[in-house]
Amino acid sequence: MSYLKFDASALKKYVNDNELNEIKPMLNTAKDLLLSGSGVESDMRQWLDLPTNYDKNEFNRIKQAAKNIQKDSKVLVVIGIGGSYLGARMAIDYLHDSYFNYMPDDKRDFPQVLFAGNSISGSYINSLIKIIGDRDFSVNVISKSGTTTEPSIAFRIFHKLLIEKYGLEAANKRIYVTTDAENGALRQEVKANGYESFIIPNGVGGRYSVLTPVGLLPIAVSGVNIDELMAGAAEAQAEYATKAVEENSALQYAAYRNILYRKGYTNEIFEGYEPNLRYFAEWWKQLAGESEGKDFKGIYPTSAMFSTDLHSLGQYIQQGRRDLMETVIKIQNPPTDVDVPITGKNGDGIQYLEGKTMNYVNDKAFESVIIAHTNGGVPNMIINVKDQTPHTLGYAIYFFEFAISVSGYLNGINPFNQPGVEDYKKNMFALLGKPGYEALKAQIENEK
C-alpha cells in the first residue's frame, strides 16, 4: 500500500454518490487559492514547499547540534507551548516505543526529551526538576517573540539551573534557541550570549512548524532520521499539489468532512488504536481548531484513544447527540506484537483468543467499532497509515496540513490566523498587573 490512504467506505449511509462531484468545483477553487497564493493570508504558506525548499546549511547544523546534545546530555528540556512543542512531542511519541522516555539511561541510546513551558504549573516544573536530578541536561527554548508567558517563565527557571550547575560560560553552550531571524526578546538574548540558534520562518505559523527547526531539533535529538522525515513530506507535497480529487486523499478528506459539517455533524473526533498516537491527536486538534474555528464557524476537534476510551466515551458516541463524525487513524503495520498466551484454561473467558496476537484482537476491535458507530448514526472516515517510520510520518504530517488548509478555504475561513488566541492573554496580563493593562484591570474588577 502507499504511505497513506483515505477510506470513505463507511460513509455510504451519510454521503450520496453525487455529493463529492457537487462540491468538487468549490474544492478545486479552495485548492487553487492555497497553491496559487491568491487566498487570504497567503504570506503564511511557506510550509507548503518546506519539504523541498529549506535551508540545507541550517538543516545540517540541526543534525550537528543534535549530535552535540546526545554526546553531552542525558536530558533535553524543550521549552515551548502550542505549535512550539506539540509537533515535536507528537513525532517523538509516534516514532518511539511507548516507554521511550521512561527507560533508564543505560537502556537508552539517546537523551530523554522532556517538555516544559506548556503550562503554568509549579508542581509540573518541580517534578521535571526532580526527574532531571543531577544528570547532565541541555535546553531548547522555542518562541518567535520570546515573550510568551509560559515558556518565558520556564526558560528563566532552567536558565538559572544551568548556570548554577555549569557556570555562565558552559551554561550558554547548553542553550539552543529557536526564534525569529531578526526580532524579538530571544533573538536579543542570542546576540548577547552567543547561544546556538535556529530560525522560525516568517511564513510558517506555529501549528504548521513541525518540519522547521521548531520540531526538527528535538526530533533529531531523540534519534530520529530527519532526512527520512523530510523525504516523506516531500513525497506527499508532490502528490497532493498535482493529483485530482479522485486520486488525492487530502482533498477527499477535506471534501467529506465539509460535506458532513454542512449536514450538522459539527464535532469531529480524532481516534487511534495505539496509545502513542495520543499526541498525534493533540497536534491535530491544534491544527484543526486554530485553523478553522473562526467567525462562529468551524468543525470542533476533539479526540479519543481506543479501546481505552470506549470504556468512558463509548456510550456517548454510540447513543448521544448525533452531531459527531469520527476520523480514525489506523496503523497498518504496528512495529511490534505480542501473542495471547496458551494456558488451556478459561477462567478469564478468553481461551478463544489463545495463540492470536494482540494486534489481531486490536484490528477486530477497530472493525467492530466502525460497524457499531456507523449503524448508531456516526459517520466514520478512516485514514490508513502504513507504519510508524519517519518517512510515513513526514507524509502524514503534510497530508493533514494540506487537507486542513484546503478545508479552511472551502469553508470561507482564513486557515492561517488565530485572532481569538490573544483574548485570554490580555485579561491575564491585566489581572497579573502587567504595565499597560491598568484600564483593562479596572474594567475587569468593576464587572466582578
Q: What amino acid positions are annotated as catalytic residues?
A: 290, 425
Query: How far apart, in whole angstroms, are the C-alpha atoms of residue 404 and residue 409?
Result: 9
The kind and range of the H/E element at 197 are strand 196-199
Task: Specify the residue for cell string 490566523.
Answer: 417
Residues facing residue 385 across a β-bridge: 4, 331
Q: What are the DSSP calls for 116-154, one per residue?
A: ESSS--HHHHHHHHHHHTTS-EEEEEE-SSS--HHHHHH
What Cα–Cα distance (Å) separates residue 135 from each residue in 75, 131, 339, 344, 349? 7, 9, 38, 48, 47
What Cα–Cα distance (Å) separates residue 170 from each residue in 136, 138, 207? 12, 11, 33
Query: How far apart, in whole angstroms, are the C-alpha atoms of residue 80 and residue 95?
Result: 20
Dihedral (Cα; 164, 165, 167, 169), 10-degree rounding = -120
8 A C-beta contact, residue 301 and residue 285? yes
Query: How far apart, in whole angstroms, are the C-alpha atoms of residue 38 and residue 46?
Result: 14
The three three-digit cell numbers of residue 194, written as one number: 552567543
Residues facing residue 327 across a β-bridge: 270, 381
